[in-house]
Amino acid sequence: MACIFCKIIAGEIPSVKIYEDESVLAILDINPVNEGHALVIPKQHYENLEALPVVDLLALSKVLKKIGLALKEGFGAVGYNITLNNDPVAGQIIPHFHWHIIPRLPADGLKVWPQQPYESNEKMAEVARKISQAL
């Protein structure tokens, strides 16, 4: 078993747990963006979102909601970002599906990604058409 998250789930590597049930583990990230940054991980190994069964996605979503509320009520965050880096090109370092939940404070300095408009309405329609045809 080479997956670091699988080793954490098996108890082979220590972690700071903030939530655990039969199918989900939530731990503090050891390299947090902000204090309280947590990882929400399915206990079964799935490489990415496409591999994750819907039932596990729903279980993870319920835990995300609980942790988000706990970050606000117990930790003092005024908001949070939920981030998924799906596949290496998107920044996924560990090939085990996981969500990041990052508490936010007004002056934390964290910036969201840059945005830019489509070059034309035609280009936007073309992109939408390609995505819709694949559904």
Single out the residue of 27, 33, 32 nearest to residue 15, CA to CA: 27
User: Exposed/middle/buried for 63, CB within 10 Å: 0-12, 13-18, 19+?
Assistant: buried
Alpha-carbon distance of 67 to 75, in angstroms, equals 10
Catalytically active residues are 98
* Half-sphere exposure for 41 (CA within 13 Å, toward CB): 26
- For 28, the 3-state DSSP assignment is strand
